[in-house]
Amino acid sequence: MSTKKTLRVGLIGYGFMARTHTNAYKRVSDFFPELENKPVLATVCGRNEERVKAFAEQWDYESYETDWRTVIAREDIDAIDICTPNNMHAEIAIAAAEAGKMVLCEKPLARSVAESQPMVDAIEKAGVRNTVWYNYRRVPSVTLAKQLIDSGKLGRIFHYRANFLQDWTINSDLPQGGEALWRLDAAAAGSGVTGDLLAHCIDTAMWLNGGIKDVSAMTETFIKERVHQATGEVQKVTIDDACLFHCHFNNGSLGLFESTRYARGHKALYTFEINGEHASIRWDLHDLNRLEYFDHRDESLVRGWRSIHVTDGDMPYMDKWWVPGLSIGYEHTFVHQVADFLKSIEAGTPCSPTFKEAMETQKVCEAVLDSASSRSWKDTGL
């Protein structure tokens, strides 16, 4: 009985991120009824017909395709959503922009700055709507952190630190490459944890605390050889298993970042903390409904870190969901990004992070990798 306008989506890819995006498109209208546009799952595209057909059936896509060029060529498609391995982002995004489609691209934008620049150029030349799925900005507790920082509560910032710790590649029997494990193959992914995990940390950090000026980094590959799924042969591992760096932000504060897939005990421990003159904030993805806040201006006898359960109706996005005390989860961040994308269409404004903004994260990632390989400080150019 809906009277909304439709936004017909063509999604390229059928892996993990394809599920999160698809779910977001299906749910957004239920929880954001004020939006004028409603996404329609027009088509999903994948190389393996059997698998893409099953995906389409499970998620109620109107159709499926096996060649992404066909999707872009279809006149009924308004927006292209790119969920492929990183090495395909540039070609698809540029073609989609040239065809005048809106483009939503999974992060990181591309494998390198060199690959990103033509994407930004194409988007800007075509003047099409665009966004990159750095979804963690839209965890309500992270959005709240942004509000608190922007309000000036923290005062002058001294420190920012973040890490993203996982442990799923410790087993040396784990193969690399292929459809399932392309994140372990630098040719497909561009890099290891730097593009996969640190990119999230860097995006959030620059959103909250401004540009990163220069970096000093180190990387490590703990397991040097693995069987490659595509060839079945033992091959050199080309990605970074761990990456650590410190940096200056343009505002004079110091940054410390670490990411690894070898931190036993941590599944997806993305945490950040920011220390200001008056107040500090810390956050942890494992308990994403909470934000920790410390304010030195509190009366001294009752001064302490506050554990804020970010579920009340006055918290970012939370009027859309349940009632105080009742949690939301990981998938909601994607619903929020679709909602904001649809709002930006109605408002005629950009939907952050745009391709251009995401390229800045790319520049930091590249400076980090350059610093690690040259064992020297590198400017980011930001």
Pick out residues in 246-285 that bind a second copy (CB under 8 A): 246, 248, 252, 254, 256, 258, 260, 262-269, 275-280, 285
Q: Does 330 bind a second copy (CB under 8 A)?
A: yes
Backbone conformation region of residue 325, classed left if phi is above 0, alpha if psi is from -120 to 50, else beta: left
Residue 224 contacts a second copy per CB under 8 A = no
- Least distance from a second copy to the Cβ atom of residue 101, Å: 24
Nearer to a second copy, 1 or 348 (CB): 1
d(CA 292, CA 24): 27
Query: Would you say 36 or 57 has its CB closer to a second copy?
Result: 57
Q: Taking the CA atoms of 66, 71, 72 and 78 in sequence, report the sign of the dihedral they define.
A: negative
Q: How far is the CB of 31 from a second copy (least distance, A)?
A: 8
State in angstroms the smallest separation of the CB of 164 from a second copy.
10
Separation between Cα atoms, residue 150 and residue 103, nearest integer Å: 29
Told to check if 137 binds a second copy by CB under 8 A, we report no
Min dist CB 370 to a second copy, Å, is 14
Residue 244 contacts a second copy per CB under 8 A = yes
Among 109, 288, 318, 359, binds a second copy (CB under 8 A): 288
The SS3 call for residue 235 is: strand
Residues 116-135 that bind a second copy (CB under 8 A): none
Least separation in angstroms between CB 220 and a second copy? 6
Least separation, in Å, of the C-beta of 364 and a second copy? 16
Please give the Cα distance from 240 to 177 (Å, whole number).
14
- Report the distance separating Cα 41 and Cα 55, nearest Å: 12
Retrieve residue 380's tokens: 């980011």
**Binding to a second copy in span 5-64, by CB under 8 A:** 16, 20, 22-23, 26-27, 29-30, 33, 56-62
User: Are the C-beta atoms of 283 and 141 separated by less than 8 Å?
Assistant: yes
Binding a second copy (rule: CB under 8 A), the pick from 5, 69, 125, 296 is 296
Q: Considering only residues 109, 128, 197, 315, which one is a binding residue for a second copy as defined by CB under 8 A? A: 315
Asked if 41 contacts 71 with a C-beta cutoff of 8 angstroms, the reply is: no
Residues recorded for the chain: 382
By CB under 8 A, residue 204 contacts a second copy: no
Give, as ranges, the residues between 62 and 81 that touch a second copy (CB under 8 A).
62
Omega of the bond leading into 175 within 30 degrees of 0 (cis): no
Residue 176 Cβ vs a second copy, minimum distance, rounded to whole Å: 18
Closest listed residue to residue 261, CA positions, set 205, 192, 307, 328? 192
**Residue 258 and residue 165 in contact, taking contact as beta carbons nearer than 8 Å:** yes
